[in-house]
Amino acid sequence: MTELRELIRQRYAGLTQGQQAVARFIITEPELTAFNTAKQVGEWTQTSETTVIRFANAIGYSGYSALQSEIRKSFIIKGVPSDPMQEYQDTTEQLAQQQDSYQAVMQKDVLYITGAMKDINLELLDTATKAIVTAEKIIVLGFRSSHGPAHWLAFTLNILRGNTELYRGTIDDAHAILSSLTRRCLVIAISFPRYTRETTEFVRAARTRGAKILAITDNELSPIGLEGDVVIPIKTPSPSALRGMPTIFSVLNVLTFSVASTDKQRVQWRVAEYNQSYKTLLSGYYSETSPDSEQTDGET
């Protein structure tokens, strides 16, 4: 399914408007595509059976049946429900009887994180890790609900490898930041619904400077998904701003762990340097203002 998603992303711009509607449906609803007819998919996408079949041909399949077979293989290989929400729905009544509402909410988060764990593409993760490790400079951006994850990722990568900057929109000088980008730079764009035009515009401007784009988003056909050199899709409950953050942060944590594991020597040096700088910066503050230090001075 990962190869199919990437194939659709690469050929999306060349599809007709109706075929693009079918593409978006397949990306977001692979289960329905796998087990329903082309006619039914045509009705759901407000196109037609013919459009669905032509879409399959346009992306390189002999017909709709061949496309279905490819999607079904991914379910067989995983051997688990593709949507962890189905598991949640099956156990909702039991959770309500055995646990309070807080535990039920946390259980729901666990199920989505488990789903993300099963869906994560290790090859994409390795590619993203290599891009981060080898980049001369990294710019991270995300607005609205995506700002929190972007801020955390920028902060963490700056500790692990340095030369990482968070772009904060109108607060920063976009022209100055874009002017500093080269082919050895990486832009990490995080964008989940509702998408912001500023994220897409910055990414497109960064591409003109030759920077590589790592897109972290809900699916390959989102605005930045279509712009990314590397795309890490994260399926979250809707709305992602209110219910999807645990899953998003979990995948970002996996990404930073991969960076730390891959570039172990530099990361260890960076963390040690960070800790030393932190102690040096705050040593005077704590020695002068902390209650413990005042008590010690009084005793001596």
| C-alpha span between 174 and 184 (Å, rounded) | 18
Asked if the bond preceding 149 is cis, omega within 30° of 0, the reply is no
- Kindly list the strands in the beta sheet with 137-141, ordered across the sheet, starting from the edge strand earlier in the chain: 164-167, 137-141, 185-191, 212-217, 230-233
Burial status of residue 225 (CB atoms within 10 A of its CB: 0-12, 13-18, 19 or more):
buried
- Name the 3-class secondary structure at 92: helix
Q: Which residue, 206, 156, 159, is CA-closest to 185?
A: 206
Asked if 281 and 275 count as a contact pair (C-beta separation under 8 A), the reply is no
Q: Which residue, 214, 232, 237, is CA-closest to 85?
A: 237
| C-alpha span between 203 and 209 (Å, rounded) | 10
How high is the pLDDT of residue 249? 95
Strand partners, 214: 188, 230
DSSP 172-199: S-HHHHHHT--TTEEEEEEE-SSP-HHH
DSSP tag of 237: P
| C-alpha span between 207 and 47 (Å, rounded) | 34
How high is the pLDDT of residue 108? 78
CB-side exposure of 113: number of CA atoms within 13 Å?
16
How high is the pLDDT of residue 286? 55
Asked if 217 and 203 count as a contact pair (C-beta separation under 8 A), the reply is no
| Residue that has been written with the tokens 């051997």 in this structure | 79
- Name the 3-class secondary structure at 268: helix
Strand partners, 231: 215
What are residue 55's phi and psi, to 5 degrees?
-60, -45
How high is the pLDDT of residue 282? 65
What are residue 142's phi and psi, to 5 degrees?
-175, 135
Q: Which residue, 193, 146, 136, is CA-closest to 167?
A: 146
For the question of whether the overall pTM of this predicted structure is more than 0.85, the answer is no
For residue 277, what is the enclosing H or E element? helix 264-289
| C-alpha span between 136 and 127 (Å, rounded) | 16
Per-residue pLDDT of the chain (300 residues; tens, 9 = 90+): 777 888 888 889 899 999 999 999 998 888 888 888 899 999 999 999 999 999 999 999 999 998 988 888 766 544 444 444 454 455 455 545 555 667 777 777 888 888 888 778 888 899 999 999 999 999 999 999 899 999 999 999 998 988 899 999 888 888 999 999 999 999 999 999 888 999 999 999 999 999 999 999 988 888 899 999 999 998 887 777 777 899 999 999 999 999 999 988 888 887 787 777 777 766 655 555 555 544 444 443
| C-alpha span between 176 and 178 (Å, rounded) | 6
Asked if the bond preceding 11 is cis, omega within 30° of 0, the reply is no
